[in-house]
Every structure is written in structure tokens, then in C-alpha cells.
Amino acid sequence: MDLNKKDMKEMKKADSSKDKSKEKSKASTKKIAIILSLLILVIGLGAGLSLYIMNREATDGSYAYIYQNNELIKVVDLTNVKEDYEFRIDSEDGGYNIVKVTTDGSIGIIEASCPDHVCMNTGFIRNGLVPITCLPNELVIEVKNSKEDSNLEYDGVAQ
């Protein structure tokens, strides 16, 4: 079967449009690859950054975790405390504890409604050796990730 000029022209036209669409799809694949690369780079950097922050906290930071009724209610940064400060924690049944944070990175309870004052007797803590516990008000303060802890060789402390 012979092809006439018109048909040939149309075929050429179709070929060139195929080429153009091929080029277009090549360009869009490249674009997707770049976007994906950037996306993974961002994820990678993000993960790296969060890992860096976590490690930095584990070695340099010192934080007091305050629990009430077995639930974490507050995290206090004990690093670079510019001035001593106090805050009050109220319990559901009307009890309270006044917590003091000092410039040397210690935390302690200085006033409490509990009758035994075991929490106040514990004194100020700056490492994870001993938590402060106020049983009547169901309050626990634990220090984690302190510089001193990172040097500690103990897995637990008998008391």
C-alpha cells in the first residue's frame, strides 16, 4: 500500500509530537527525581538534627520531670537557670507543694501541705540518684539526663 504525501506529513507530525512528549516526560521524571532527592535530604537532615538534639540533651542537658498521680505534668530545664525561682503545684484534694529551682541546677520542695514532709527532707536534688517523692500529694520529681548522670556508673541505687 502506497502512502501519499499527506499521510507522510501527518506521520512526521505525529513523530515530532511523540518526541516532544518524550522530552516532556523526561523533564518531568527529572523534576520528580530532584523533588524526591530534596525531600529525602530534608528528611535526612531533620532526622540528623533531631538525633543531634537528643544526644545533646542526653549529655549536656539536665531536666526535672514532675509527675502527679503517675502522670507527667511538667518538665523543668535545670540548665542555665539565671535566677532562683519557685512555683506551686496543687493536688486535686486541696494539697500543695512549693517547688524551688536554683541557679546551681538543683530542684527541691521547700513547702508542702503533707504531714510527714518526707519530700522536704529529701532536700535538693541535681541528679537521678534519688527522686523526690511526696506520697500524700502523689508527686514525684526525677532528674534525668544530667551531666552528672552521664558519668554515673550505677544502674540503680539501693536506699
Partner 1 sequence: MLLVLLVFAMNLTACTNTKTSSSSATESASLSELHFDTIMSISLYGSDKAALTEIINEAYDEVDRLESIFSAQLETSELYSINQGIAKGQTSFVISKELTEVIDYALKVNEESNGALDITIGNLINLWGIGTDHEKLPTDDEIAAALVGTGCEYISLDKETNTLTVSSENVQLDLGAIAKGYAADLVKELILAKDSSVVGLLDFGGNIMTIGSKPDGSNWKVGITDPLDSTSVYGGVSVSDLCVVTSGNYERYFEENGVRYHHILDAASGYPADKGIISSSIIGASSIECDALSTACYCLGVEDALALINSLDGVECVLIDNDGNYYTSDGIGDYNFTKAE
| Residue ranges in contact with partner 1 by CB under 8 A | 33, 36-37, 40-41, 43-44, 47-48, 50-51, 54, 67, 70, 115-118, 121-127, 129-131, 133, 135, 138, 140, 142, 153-159
Q: At CB < 8 A and 24+ separation, what contacts does 124-132 make?
A: 124/100, 126/62, 126/78, 127/152, 128/152, 129/154, 129/157, 130/157, 130/159, 132/107, 132/108
**124 vs 105: CA distance, rounded Å:** 9
Nearer to partner 1, 27 or 40 (CB): 40
Shorter beta-carbon distance to partner 1: residue 62 or 126 = 126
Closest approach of partner 1 to the CB of residue 85, in Å: 21
Nearer to partner 1, 7 or 60 (CB): 60
